[in-house]
Structure 1
């Protein structure tokens, strides 16, 4: 029996409640930022950050910004005066800070509702049109990287509805704001360090490409283009797949196709391996299956040890692969359980979410079925 890799297409037609909502929120993805609880207090700031969205702040007055400039001059040979002029034009984006805060407590996760936002007719129809138009590039990516076309199509559909919604924040504004005024959270310093590195990558990307850094637009977290890559990911994983001599994820869907495939391979994708298998768990007290929950985003358990603890595949799953237990909480309804193989977890490196990875898989399959393949 072939492994059951994805959820039934019949469920998607019941999922119209959110229509064609685009996902600035899902762009948190590449930023991988948890949403903290309180507004940022810039301890290093000479001036208090304004409460209004897109207000001017002279970031050059902030001591941490001057330290950042020192590092860019020393590490990458930037002109201090040029950087001060550039950062002097940055605007503080309060909405970026607000969107990093946690959702109100008390509302349980709901896989069915989440899935309905992405596996829906608008994205499916757009996916069919995209696949038809770029079939050659998708086939070439599958041959070169071993990533099936439906996975690439699923990611592009979830991320931006095939380039329709790539974000309209100035990347320099969003990333600088989060680099120096990230909201209060236990991991605030780590997150600011991450965004400072992305600010450096933004400046380097612009310099290498010979473009104005303020011309880059994207999500509130700074993700860019059709595939919503952070600037650092563009520099590390972007590829010139259309052969025009430059990597352009804002305007070249072919570059986006190749870059997504390359990203997945560089994050552990293995040619020809399966994704997920439906599973059930033994609800009896003390069976031990709960020990496989919350074990990170990797496949690291043998099937025999999971079976012994009460985790049972509902279709034939290869004994020679490693797995992780995927739990898709459904509000008040029963949780769905799956055995995620290595390639499932490669998708979670794009966005650290089981819901995201399963939506990518399901949307890609729905597009393939609608296309009649």
Structure 2
């Protein structure tokens, strides 16, 4: 059966995350020829507890929006980083020059801030790509996210914030279960938003990203996010060092990067400020707004299961052709991909998606524009499918 909404609201007119990693101008090159020695972190990197947006703590929302405050966890040693004097790094000094000239920051204040910023070796270790020889396994990935803990927490979240979820669906066209799926996958509904200082994580990655083929592009991205962190903190009148998040610098219930907060986050609870760290209602509206901006089509499904021919293997050429739905039903059938659903929506285009299962059989799906809208949040087929399936599982559990 296709993955689609289990329940639809009447269609209303509406206006309108992060292009998971938005493109930014090329970066200046790395450190000076002889940067200060990096601290040696001998502790084993711990997996980050992640997944959410910033601002001042809000007063409790109205009665129907009441929630339990997430427990504040004490930072572990590997989350605290170690001292290096970033102000001695040539590229950091160039970055400061740019911030003073472009954004009017005070040089002495930036020097003071960066003197307090720590090098986070844990971020370096966790950001490294998985070994290329390790087989992908959709079943194992799915089991991490479609589990009783997340499903039960999702039911509680939906019951608590149903009014806000319904309003977001009506305004932006994104189904409630998709919003619930994203916040559940990202942070288990605010339980695991990350405990790394965002300044530590982003500064480390901006100036000492691991040696990978895309190192320059990734450092450019994180330097852009460092600039956005500084601007976000200045605009919200908060201390940049107070921002906590994932090892990559993602913040709050929906795990928005600072640049995405500035561009896509909304004040959905109407209290006059955007606060993804403490307001699940702002998180709900911001997730829906992000997906709407990135191509979500109201009322359309997410994906349809398909079978592929072992004789006509032209379908292999349709795999990995970008994060967009570009093929007609007729093109897919001619290439050997057929759909078990009685009929596909007329005129819709699809992408062919493979979900590999290690040594087991691969699953194949026809993905719609809505599936690919989710991949703008995280550029992973596994991620997009787990969001859709978690949302559907939570919706089914509520209806039992």
Could you tell me the TM-score, scaled by structure 1's length? 0.89
Match of 1:47 among 36, 57, 75: 36
- List aligned pairs for 1:302-341, cutoff 5 A: 302-315=328-341, 316-341=343-368
Match of 1:229 among 253, 256, 272: 256
Q: Deviations over 1:141-190 (max 9, x none)?
A: 00000000000000010000000000000000000000000000111011
Could you tell me the TM-score, scaled by structure 2's length? 0.83
Match of 1:217 among 233, 236, 244: 244
Match of 1:172 among 185, 193, 199: 199
In 2: Cα distance, 1:32 partner to 1:234 partner: 12
Please say if 1:295 is aligned against 2:321. yes
Query: In 2, are the aligned partners of 1:32 and 1:351 still within 8 Å (CA)?
Result: no
Segments of structure 2 that go 5 or more residues without pairing to the other structure are 6-17, 24-29, 42-77
Number of residue pairs the alignment of both structures matches = 344
Give the direction of change, closer, same or farther, for the CA distance of 1:192–1:104 in structure 2 (3 Å limit). same
Q: Deviations over 1:47-78 (max 9, x none)?
A: 12222251101000001001101111111111
Q: Give the aligned partner of residue 3 of structure 2.
A: 5
In 2: Cα distance, 1:45 partner to 1:257 partner: 46
Match of 2:176 among 145, 149, 152: 149
Q: Give the aligned partner of residue 125 of structure 2.
A: 98
Secondary structure, counterpart of 2:306 in structure 1? strand
Please say if 1:114 is aligned against 2:141. yes
Secondary structure, counterpart of 1:322 in structure 2? coil
Q: Give the aligned partner of residue 46 of structure 2.
A: none
Q: Give the aligned partner of residue 258 of structure 1.
A: 285
Query: In 2, are the aligned partners of 1:44 and 1:62 still within 8 Å (CA)?
Result: no
Match of 2:185 among 129, 147, 158: 158
In 2: Cα distance, 1:46 partner to 1:95 partner: 19
Please say if 1:241 is aligned against 2:230. no
Query: In 1, are the aligned partners of 2:138 and 2:382 still within 8 Å (CA)?
Result: yes
Query: In 2, are the aligned partners of 1:42 and 1:49 still within 8 Å (CA)?
Result: no
Q: Give the aligned partner of residue 389 of structure 2.
A: 362
Q: Deviations over 1:255-289 (max 9, x none)?
A: 0000000000111111111110010111116x311
Moved over 4 A (4+): 28-33, 41-45
Query: In 1, are the aligned partners of 2:31 and 2:91 still within 8 Å (CA)?
Result: no
Give the direction of change, closer, same or farther, for the CA distance of 1:166–1:31 in structure 2 (3 Å limit). farther
Segments of structure 1 that go 5 or more residues without pairing to the other structure are 8-27, 34-40
Give the direction of change, closer, same or farther, for the CA distance of 1:345–1:196 in structure 2 (3 Å limit). same
In 2: Cα distance, 1:105 partner to 1:205 partner: 36
In 1: Cα distance, 2:124 partner to 2:263 partner: 26
Report the more deviating stretch, 316-325 or 132-141. 316-325
- List aligned pairs for 1:27-38, cutoff 5 A: 30=20
Please say if 1:190 is aligned against 2:217. yes
Give the direction of change, closer, same or farther, for the CA distance of 1:366–1:47 in structure 2 (3 Å limit). same
